[in-house]
Amino acid sequence: MSRNIMYPHIDKPWMKYYDSVKVNSEDPKTNLADYIKQKNSKNRNGIAGTYYTSKNKL
């Protein structure tokens, strides 16, 4: 019988909504900027993001 301890950080009730493949996947070993550069390698002249009116290229 499963017993709830009633501490959300221990019971983790939200985990029932996630797929086990996503939960057990490995985190990327790079920072966010390098990850965006890697995924956007085929479109290097495009805009990576906008912040208000300034356009940022990585």
Confirm whether 28 is domain-assigned: yes
Confirm whether 57 is domain-assigned: no
Q: What is the pLDDT of residue 8?
A: 81
Number of domains in the chain: 1
Residue 35, amino acid? Y
Confirm whether 29 is domain-assigned: yes
Parent domain of 14: 8-40
Confirm whether 58 is domain-assigned: no
Q: What confidence category does residue 1 fall into, taking pLDDT thresholds of 50, 70 and 90? A: very low
Confirm whether 22 is domain-assigned: yes
With a CB cutoff of 8 Å and minimum separation 6, the contacts of 23 are 15
Integer distance in angstroms from the first to the last C-alpha of the chain?
Answer: 53
Confirm whether 55 is domain-assigned: no
pTM above 0.85, yes or no: no
Residue 2 scores a pLDDT above 60:
no
Q: What is the pLDDT of residues 4-58, one digit of tens each?
A: 777 888 888 888 898 888 888 888 788 988 888 888 788 777 766 667 766 666 5
Q: What is the pLDDT of residue 38?
A: 85
